Structure 1
Amino acid sequence: MTAQTLKEHKKAGILIAIVLILAAGIIWYLTRPVNTPLTLHGNVDVRQVSLTFNASERIATMNVEEGDRVHKGDVLATLNTTPLKLTIARCQAQIAQQKAVVAKMHNGSRPEEIAEAAAAVQSAQAEADNAAADYQRMSTLYASNAISRQTLDTAEAKAKSTAASLAKSQSAHALADNGYRQEDIDAAEAQLQSLENELQTAQYNLSQATLIAPQDGVIRSRLVEPGDMASPSTPVYTLSLDTTKWIRAYISENRLGQIHEGQTATVTIDSVPTPLTGQVGYISDTAEFTPKSVETEDLRTSLVYEVRIYVTDLDNVLRLGMPATVTF
């Protein structure tokens, strides 16, 4: 091997070494831990609840508008209660009547009522006897062609009618004298219980005719108007709650190792002069394509992870959708 050949081999070795060093440097740069400060861009998010009536009736009043602040217990809307109040009044009247029936069954008839029933039997007996005798007489006259068939039929009908009245009077006297059977009393008490249950249902429906704010918050949407038909499946308002607020942001996979749940962060809002303190409360386990609402255009087609940074908004200055900058 000549000196020239050795020299060429030496140059080739040097070039290969340089290429390997450069490749190693590039690999290290691409895979190195990123320790630069982390800044995420996102928007304020809040919990929302759809408020509905638990009854079906026409809406009478709508007391708040979109953007109004409400407090727990505030009356937001009411239903037309006239049909419900009429139902309650009817149930109360029926219950009072049925209670009197049950009390009479338990107490039995008074002596004067028994005497009255006995007198009614005697009167019915006399009428039945007279009608029967009259029918017999008419039958004899009809046999001798002294009266028409119609006259005989009238006498027969009266005899049967008075006999039925006598049987009814005798049954009423026996009931007054002996009292009601236990199964009749049980049936009357069951009817009373059914009426009381119906009253409770009507009173509950009346209590559901008022829509109450479940928590403090801001009315975001007013979805119906007075005169509309309300139902459990028809939202009336959308309420943004004050209880929990967070910043929804997205982070790329190569920066994911820089955050963890419980980590504190500084949240900056353009319209709020003082930065807020936040804490990472949620990191998604699943990658997704960044929503179009993200601020950085080059990340919109990238796979990222959703992050929620919860903040304490004591002054209630944060509003749904506000852009926010989160710095770790």
Structure 2
Amino acid sequence: MLRKYAGFILLAVALVGIAIFGWWKYTHPGLPDGIAMANGRLEAEQVQVATKYAGRVQDVLAEEGDLVTAGQVIARMDTRDVLAQLGEARAQLLSAQSAEGEAQSALSAREADRLLARQELARIDQLHKRGFASSQLLDKARASMDAAEAMFQAAQATLRRSIAGIDAAQATINRVEAAVDDSTLTAPRSGRIQYKLIQPGEVVAAGTPIVTLLDLTDVYMTVFLPASDAGVLGIGDEARIIVDPAPQYVIPARVTFVAEDAQFTPKAVETKDEREKLMFRVKLTIDPKLLSLWESRVKTGVRGVGYVRVKRGIEWPENLAVKLPEPTLEAASENAGH
């Protein structure tokens, strides 16, 4: 009796095994010759939004997971000290402008004195030539002329210094105004806030990152392929990506990078078989316009599989035909508006 039931059990197990294998073959059809695959994960370029100057963080206006657009305000620094410097620089500018006015008036007076001394010297020189003025009087007129000329040159120098003072004060204002502007941190590009690194009220050093931004227009999968496959790939070649959380979709991509050097190698690389084990990093990038349609769904760190064609002229198999979800309503309406 036990043997009879054991036979039925073995038959049932075999049938279940055949069914599972058939299902697996149906859902995981084999790749045709000329298609290579490799495991990878979705990544995006990271941008650190950092403060240019040391100081206290007044506000952080973005939270982790927020979608932000280029130019959107991310954080603000406390600007009280900087605004005080700006007021001081503006006061110095007013003082320099006042000094410039005084120097200009003094220069006009010295120029008049020089003209008068020149005319007096010319008149006494004519009288001296006709014998109606003494040499002593002529020497005195020449000395007055020299003094007037020296006073005029000094007034010019004072005016140049006052003008330089205006330029210096204006440069200080420009620098401090730039510091005020830089105290408002904006997103350099559109993306998603990945990490909020600093809280309001914290005092930070110059160059401290406030948030980490993921650039959702530059999403890619990094895979590693053997030399025989990576060696035939060209920049711009078509690729496909399937991510583990959504295996029903096939995402189109392009080869945008192939490493020149192997990323990891066997201990010895002497024979052809050993050279075949060399693995090269390949970057499969998704079209930014495509990403914009599913911006709210794009996530990094997701595992999946990347596929590339390593033979020219072959078609993508049916299971790797592009298949995408419906775009979000917001993205679809925004793209329709453009």
TM-score, normalising length from structure 1? 0.60
Equivalent position of 1:66 in the other structure: 64
Query: For each residue in 1:84-131, what CA deviation from the matched residue of structure 2 results, as whole angstroms up to 9, or x when unmatched?
Result: 1111112212221221221122124999xxxxxxxxxxxxxxxxxxxx
Q: Is 1:278 aligned to residue 278 of structure 2?
A: no
1:326 match? 306
For the 8 Å contact 2:70–2:188, the answer to whether it is kept is yes
In structure 1, the residue matched to 2:188 is 214
Equivalent position of 2:173 in the other structure: 199
Task: Give the aligned residue type for 2:56.
Answer: R
- Aligned partner of 2:227 in structure 1 is 253
Q: Which amino acid aligns with 1:210?
A: T
Change (3 A) 1:199 1:260: closer
Whether the aligned pair in 1 keeps the contact of 2:51 and 2:206 (CA below 8 Å) is yes
Whichever residue aligns with residue 253 of structure 1, its letter is A
Distance 1:181 1:263, change over 3 A: closer
- Percent identity, aligned pairs only, is 19
Give 1:231 shift: 3.6
Instruction: Please say if residues 57 and 199 of structure 2, whose CA atoms lie closer than 8 Å, have aligned partners that are also in contact.
Output: yes
Q: Which runs of 5+ in 1 are unaligned?
A: 1-33, 112-174, 291-301
Distance, in Å, in 2 between the alignment partners of 1:224 and 1:209 is: 15
Pairing partner for 2:102 from 79, 96, 104? 104
In the aligned structure 1, how far is the partner of 2:97 from the partner of 2:232? 75
Rounded to whole Å, the distance in 1 between the matches of 2:48 and 2:34 is 43
Deviation track 1:5-34 (CA, whole Å, cap 9, x = no partner) reads: xxxxxxxxxxxxxxxxxxxxxxxxxxxxx9
Match of 1:244 in 2: 218
- Deviations along 1:220-260, one digit per CA (max 9) or x if unpaired, are 11222222233433111111102211110111234445644
Q: Which runs of 5+ in 2 are unaligned?
A: 1-31, 110-147, 266-276, 309-338
* In the alignment, structure 1 residue 227 sits paired with structure 2 residue 207: no
Q: Is the 8 A contact 2:230 2:282 kept in 1?
A: no
From the superposition, tell whether residues 41 and 108 of structure 1 become closer, same or farther in structure 2 (CA, over 3 Å): same
Whether contact under 8 Å (1:219, 1:238) holds in the other structure is: yes
1:81 pairs, out of 79, 94, 119, with: 79
The 3 A distance-change label for structure 1 pair 98 and 255 is closer
Q: Secondary structure at the match of 1:54?
A: coil
Give the AA of the match of 1:98: A
Q: CA RMSD in A?
A: 2.8
User: What is the match of residue 289 of structure 1?
Assistant: 264
Deviations 1:21-74 (A, max 9, x none): xxxxxxxxxxxxx93642221111111111111222211111111111111111
Cα pair 2:107 2:155 within 8 Å, conserved: no
Q: Which AA in structure 1 matches 2:64? A: E
| CA distance in structure 2 between the aligned counterparts of 1:259 and 1:201, rounded to whole angstroms | 50
Name the SS for the 2:236 alignment partner.
Answer: coil
Change (3 A) 1:252 1:106: same
Task: State the distance in 1 between where 2:72 and 2:261 align.
Answer: 40
Q: Measure how far apart 1:270 and its partner are.
A: 3.0
Higher relative contact order at CA 8 Å, sep ≥6: structure 1 or structure 2? 1
For 2:62 and 2:286, the matched residues in 1 are separated by 28
